[in-house]
Amino acid sequence: MTQQTLFTDCTVATLKSGQPNYGLIEDAAILQRDGLIEWIGRSGAVPLKQSEMDKQSLQGRLVTPALIDCHTHLVFGGNRSKEFEQRLKGASYEEIAKIGGGINSTVEATRAASFDALVSASLRRLDDLISDGVAVVEVKSGYGLTIDDEIRMLQVARKLEELRPVKIVTTWLAAHAVPPAFKGRADTYIDQIVIPGLVRAANKGLVDAVDGFCETIAFTSGQIERVFQAAGSLGLPVKLHAEQLSDQKGALLAARYSALSADHLEYLSATDVEAFAAAGTVAVLLPGAFYTLKETKLPPIAALRHHDVDIAIATDCNPGSSPISSILTAMNMACTEFALTPEEALAGTTRCAAKALGLSGEYGEITIGARAELAVWDVEHPSELSYWLGGSPLHKRLSHGIAA
Ligand code: NIG
Ligand code: FE
C-alpha cells in the first residue's frame, strides 16, 4: 500500500545544486511517497488535494537533507589516549607511528576485540552521528591488516546497518599501514594481502569502494596505483588519503583514476588543483584531523573554489588523528579553521558528501526523486548548524519518510 505524507509548516534548505542561499524555501511543504520525495515547494502550491493526505506539521522548523559522514574509521578496538598525551608533550604523529604506535597499535586492539565488542563500540559512535542528523556513514577497514581481520571489520560495518536506520557505505582500506609482519616489505603486503583480500571481500559483497593511505609512513603512489588497478578490474570506485602530511602527488593519482574523492589535502599544491578539478573528484576536507594534529598548513581552499571543485566535510572519526564522532563539530571546525562558509560546510555534509560516495541525486539534496532522508532542526537558520558547538539542535530525523 502506498505510504504518503505531506510535511507542512517548515522552512526547507534543499541544498540543490546551483541554487543560491542553501536553496532555501520559506513556508514550504514536502510530499513524500514510499520513502521518496514526490514534490517540494511553497505550501500554497501543493499539487494534490490536501484533504486526502496524511499531513504532519513541522511547526515552523528547518528541514535539511539528512547529513552524510563520507569519511570515517568508525570500527576499531581500544583507543589511543596515551598517544594524545605523548603528542601534547611534543611527539609528532609520524614519530609515534614509526616506533610502532599509531595505526598499528589500533590494529592490535582491533584484532583482539570480539565481533560483538567491535559492534558495540562502533554503535556508540554511530549513535553520536545519528543524534547529529546523520543518515549515511562511510566506514573503512584498515585496522585488521590480515585478509580475515579486514573482512571482519567490514562485516561489523554491515551489521551496524541492521541495527540502526542508516545506510552504511563500506570501503576497503587494507593499504592503510604496513603491518609489523611485513615490515620493510610493503610491496609483498600489497601482493599477498591487500589485493587478494580485496578480491575475496568484493566477492562477498562487502566492498563499495577502495581507499589507500599515500604517505611516507604508509604507501607510495606506485603501490597505491596497483591497488587502484585491482579495484578497476573489479569495477569498484576508488578514493585516497592524499597529501595529509606531505605532498606525494596522491591527489593527481586519484584524479587519473577518476576517484570519487581525495581526502585530507592539506599539502595539495595549489598548482595541482586544475588537473585535479578536471576529474570531477570531490575534495574531502577533514578538519578534525587538522585540529587534533595541530596542523598549520591549510588545504588550498581558494584554488579549490576557483576551479569549482566540490568540497565535502567529514569527521574522519578514528582513534588516532580524529577522535571525533560529531559531524556538526566537524562543520564548525571547517568554518573556523578553513574559513569555509556555513553554506559550504552544509553542502559539504549533504550534496557534496553524497557525490563523494557516488550517491548523487539519491541522498544529500531535497529534490524530486531523492530519498526522503531528512533532518528536522530546532534552529531558525541553516548557518546555526555550523555555529553551535557541543549539543545537537536536531529535533528528529525522517528516514524513508517516517520518524526514525
Ligand atoms: O584519516 N591518515 C590515515 N588514516 C587516518 C588515521 C588513522 C589513525 O591514526 O588511526 C586518518 O587520519
Ligand atoms: Fe582517514
Domains of the chain in sequence order: 4-65+364-403 (2.30.40.10), 67-356 (3.20.20.140)
| DSSP β-bridge partners for residue 212 | 175
Q: Which atom of ligand 1 is nearest to the CA of 93?
A: 9
Left (φ > 0), alpha (ψ -120 to 50) or beta: where does 161 sit? alpha
Express the helix, strand and coil content of the chain in percent, nearest 5 each.
40, 25, 35
User: What percent of the chain has a predicted confidence (pLDDT) above 90?
Assistant: 95
Average pLDDT score over residue span 326-344: 98
Pocket test residue of 76, 103, 172, 291 for ligand 1, highest count of atoms within 8 A of CB: 103
The answer on pLDDT for 194 being more than 80 is yes
pTM of the model: 0.98
Spatial neighbors of 278 by CB under 8 A, at least 6 apart, are 255
- pLDDT value at residue 110: 98
| Residue 50 pLDDT grade (very low, low, confident, very high; cuts 50, 70, 90) | low
The C-alpha cell at 44 is: 500554497
The answer on pLDDT for 14 being more than 80 is yes
The answer on pLDDT for 48 being more than 90 is no
Mind listing the pLDDT tens digit for each residue in 277-315? 999 999 999 999 999 999 999 999 999 999 999 999 999
Q: Counting every residue, how long is the chain?
A: 404
Mind listing the pLDDT tens digit for each residue in 85-130? 999 999 999 999 888 889 999 999 999 999 999 999 999 999 999 9
> Which residue's alpha carbon is nearest to atom 1 within ligand 1?
316
Average pLDDT score over residue span 308-323: 98
> Which residue's alpha carbon is nearest to atom 6 within ligand 1?
321
The answer on pLDDT for 49 being more than 80 is no
Average pLDDT score over residue span 260-264: 98
Mind listing the pLDDT tens digit for each residue in 240-249? 999 999 999 9
- Within 6 Å (CB) of ligand 1, which residues are found? 73, 102-103, 106, 213, 241, 244, 289, 316, 318-322
The answer on pLDDT for 396 being more than 80 is yes
93 CA from centroid of ligand 1 (Å): 10
> Which residue's alpha carbon is nearest to atom 8 within ligand 1?
320
Q: Which atom of ligand 1 is nearest to the CA of 322?
A: 12
Sheet containing 36-42: which strands, arranged edge to edge? Answer: 36-42, 24-33, 4-13, 54-65, 374-377, 394-399, 402-403
The answer on pLDDT for 404 being more than 70 is yes
In contact, 280 and 258? CB cutoff 8 Å: yes
Pocket test residue of 98, 213, 240 for ligand 1, highest count of atoms within 8 A of CB: 213
321 CA from centroid of ligand 1 (Å): 6
4 CA from centroid of ligand 1 (Å): 43
| Residue 53 pLDDT grade (very low, low, confident, very high; cuts 50, 70, 90) | confident
330 CA from centroid of ligand 2 (Å): 14
Nearest ligand for residue 218 CA: 1
In contact, 77 and 121? CB cutoff 8 Å: yes
In contact, 246 and 220? CB cutoff 8 Å: no
Lowest-confidence region among 74-78, 100-104, 318-322: 100-104
